[in-house]
Amino acid sequence: MSNPDSQFTRRFSIIISLLVVITIALVFLSRGIMDITPTADEPAARAPVAVAAATASAAPASPAGTGTQAASAGADGQTVYQQVCALCHAMGIAGAPKVGDTVAWGPRIAKGKTTLYDHALHGFASKTGMMPPKAGHMELSDASVQAAGDYMVAKSGG
C-alpha cells in the first residue's frame, strides 16, 4: 500500500520542483526586461546633456555662470541662429527673409546694423510678416540676438 503512495509523492515533488524552476526562470526573465528598459531610454536621456555640452564647447568665450542655458549665456551667433532663428529664417517661413537670399536681405542690410539689431531685439513688421521681439525668446541676451543677426547677415551678403 505504501508503494503507490510514495510513487505519487515522488511525481508530485517533481512537478512542484518543475514549477519552482519555471517560476525562477520567469523572475529572471522579467528582471532582464526591467534591465533592458532603462538602457533603451538612456540615449534619449543623455541627448540634451550632449547638446548642452556641445553648445558649451562651441562657445568657449562665454563667461561661466551667466545663465542656465548655454544659448542665453554665450554670444555664439551660429548656435543661437540654429536653435531659435532658423525656425523662420532658414526656409523663409512667415515672410521671414531667408538666410542666403541676398535679394531679400539687400535692402534690409542697407538699413544698417543698428537698425537690424533694433528690429531683432524689439520686433519689426513691414509688408512681409512679423519679426517678434527677440524671436519670442526673451531669455536670450541682447548680445546673443545680435550675434545671431550678424551670423544671418554674414551668410546673406552682408
Residue 85 contacts ligand HEC per CB under 6 A: yes
Shorter beta-carbon distance to ligand HEC: residue 62 or 108: 108
**Residue closer to ligand HEC, measured from CB, 51 or 136:** 136
Q: Which of 128, 139, 154, 157 binds ligand HEC (CB under 6 A)?
A: 128
Options 6-14, 21-29, 58-66, 108-116: segment touching ligand HEC (CB under 6 A) = 108-116
Q: Which residues contact 69 (CB under 8 A, 6 or more apart)?
A: 139
Which three cell numbers, joined as nine digits, stand for 10? 515522488
Q: Residue 136 CB, nearest distance to ligand HEC (Å)?
A: 7
- Nearest-approach distance from CB 42 to ligand HEC, in angstroms: 32
Instruction: Report in angstroms the alpha-carbon separations of 93 from 86, 131, 141.
Output: 9, 11, 24
Q: Does 104 bind ligand HEC (CB under 6 A)?
A: no
Cα(128)–Cα(32) distance, integer angstroms: 58
Q: Applying CB under 6 A, which of residues 78, 119, 133, 158 lies at the interface with ligand HEC?
A: 119
In the complex with ligand HEC, the residue whose CB is nearer, 75 or 145, is 145
Q: Does 73 bind ligand HEC (CB under 6 A)?
A: no
70 binds ligand HEC (CB under 6 A): no
The sign of the dihedral angle between the CA atoms of 140, 104, 115, 93 is: negative
Q: State the Cα–Cα distance between residues 94 and 38, nearest whole angstrom.
A: 41
Residue 57 CA to residue 65 CA, distance in Å, equals: 14
Cβ neighbors of 17 (< 8 A, separation 6 or more) are none
Torsion from C-alpha of 135, 136, 139, 140, nearest 10 degrees: 0
Residues that bind ligand HEC (CB under 6 A): 80, 84-85, 87-89, 94-97, 108, 111, 115-116, 119-120, 124-126, 128-132, 135, 145, 148-149
